[in-house]
Amino acid sequence: MAQRKSLWGLQMRGGTWHIDKRIRGRRVCESTGTSDRQEAEEILAKRISEIREADIFGVRPKRTFRQAATKYLNEANKASLWIDAMYLEMLEPFIGDLPLESIHMGTLQPFIKARKAKGVKNRTVNYGIQTVRHILNLAAGEWIDENGRTWLAHAPKIKFLPETDKRAPYPLSWDEQVRLFNELPAYLTKMALFAVNTGCREGEVCRLQWEWEVEIPEMKTGVFIIPGESVKNRQDRLVVLNRVAKAVVEEMRGKHPTHVFTYKGKPLKKMYGRAWRDAREKAKLEPVRVHDLKHTYGRRLRAAGVSFEDRQDLLGHKSSRVTTHYSMPELESLIAASNEVCGKNSRKTHAIVVLKQKIHHADSA
C-alpha cells in the first residue's frame, strides 16, 4: 500500500510538525503543536481556510484563550507579570482551549467553583478573573492581526465576585510593630523596618538595587529612584530615607554587589512566606500582611500632619507631578516629613535590627 503524501507546507522539526507555507501571498511559519501527521495536516487545512475566509469574507480567525495568554505574557511589561503567569496557569485547564469569543462568566464558572472548593476567598479568585478580563480587553481593543482586525470583536462583560471577605488594612501600633519585628528572622526584620519607614511595597523592597541610589552630598544623605518597570504604577519611584531607613541601608552596604536586601547571598522574590506567617502567629498578629507596613507608614504620616501632596510622593502614589525631580528645599521638606514617623520609638525599633545582627553573627561563628 502506497504511503499517503503529506500536505505540502509541513516540516518535521524536533519531533513536532511545523507549518512553513505561503498562503494567499503571506508566509505562515508556526508550530502545529503535534507530532501526529494527520492532525498536523488538519491544522494546516484549518489555517488555510481561516486565512481565506479572513481575506475574502472578513471573518476573524478562531483564536484560543491559550494563544491570547501566550501573546500577553510575551508582550506585557509589568513588575508583577509573574503573578499573572501564575493565575493563567491555574486557568489553563478550564479555558485554555476555548475560543476567545466563548469566554464569559458562564465558561469561567468551573474555574470559580474549583477555586472556591479549595477554600480560596473571593478576593483571590478575582485576581484570576481580572487577568482574564484584561486579556480580553486587549484582544478587543489593541491587538490587531495581519488583516487589520482586532483579535476579538467585542469584550464580554465579566464581573468580579463580591469581596465580602476582603480584609481591611491593619496599620501597626508601635507596640505591635515591636512584637512582630522581634519574632521575624534578622533578614526580614531589616526589610520590614525599611518598608515601614519608606512606604515601599514588598516587591520594591525585594528588588531594591544599589545602582538606583542617588547621593545628595549637600544634605549628607541619599535617596533611591526605582525605575518605572519595577514599580506597580509604572512611574519612577522616589524613595526618601528617614533616619531609620538610612541606618538600615548603611547596615546592608557592601554585603551584596547589586541588591540591598538578600537572604543567604541571593535576592528574594517576596517577603511573605513561612517565616512571616510564623512570626505574626507568635506575635498574635495573624491579620497583618506585608502590605500593612505601607499602610502603617501612611497612617503615621497623616497623624504627623504631613500634607496630602507630600504623602502621595512619600508613598509613591501615582501623580501628575514628575515625582523624581525635586529642588533641594523640596527634598529637605520630604526628608523632614518622613522623619516625623520615627518618633521616640526610632531608637527602640532600630535596636531590634542591631540585636538580630549580633545574634546572627554569634550563630554563624
As given in the structure block, the three cell numbers for residue 11 are: 516540516
Q: 32 pLDDT exceeds 90?
A: no
pLDDT of residue 313: 87
**Which grid coordinates belong to 86?**
501564575
Which has more confidence, 226 or 114?
Answer: 114
Walk across the sheet containing 213-216 and list its strands: 213-216, 221-226, 237-240
Asked whether the predicted pLDDT for residue 49 surpasses 80, the reply is: no
Lowest mean pLDDT among 133-142, 234-243, 356-365: 356-365
Q: What confidence tier does 319 reach under pLDDT thresholds 50, 70, 90?
A: low
pLDDT digits 0-9 by tens, 175-206 = 999 999 999 999 999 999 999 999 999 999 99
Q: What is the pLDDT of residue 166?
A: 65
Q: pLDDT class for 293, splitting at 50, 70, 90? A: very high
Q: Which of 80, 81, 63 is nearest to 72 (CA)?
A: 81
- Spatial separation of the C-alpha atoms in residues 93 and 87, rounded to whole Å: 11
Instruction: For residue range 13-26, list pLDDT tens digits in order.
Output: 888 888 888 876 67
- Between CA 342 and CA 345 the distance in angstroms is 6
**Helix (H), strand (E) at residue 135:** helix 122-141
pLDDT at 354 over 50: no
- Give residue 246's pLDDT: 93
- pLDDT band at residue 216, thresholds of 50, 70 and 90? confident
Backbone angles phi, psi at 299, to 5 degrees: -65, -40
Domains of the chain: 11-57 (no CATH), 65-141 (1.10.150), 174-364 (1.10.443.10)
Report the percent of the chain where pLDDT is more than 70.
85
> What integer pLDDT is reported at residue 227 of this predicted model?
86
CB contact at 8 A, 58 and 46: no
Greater model confidence, 84 or 62: 84
- Give pLDDT tens digits for 280-290: 999 999 889 99
Nearest to 351 by CA among 277, 264, 282, 248: 248
Q: What Å distances lie between residue 288 and 177, 181, 269, 271, CA to CA?
A: 10, 12, 19, 13
For residue 300, the tally of other CB atoms under 10 A from its CB is 21
Q: CA separation (Å) from 317 to 216, 236, 245?
A: 23, 10, 19
CB of 141 closer than 8 Å to CB of 155: yes
The predicted-structure confidence for 93-139, as pLDDT tens digits, reads as follows 999 999 999 999 999 999 999 999 998 989 889 999 999 999 999 99
Question: Grid coordinates standing for 279?
Answer: 512570626
Residue count of the chain, please give it. Answer: 365
Predicted confidence at residue 55, as pLDDT, reads: 58
Q: How far apart are CA 199 and CA 187, in angstroms?
A: 18
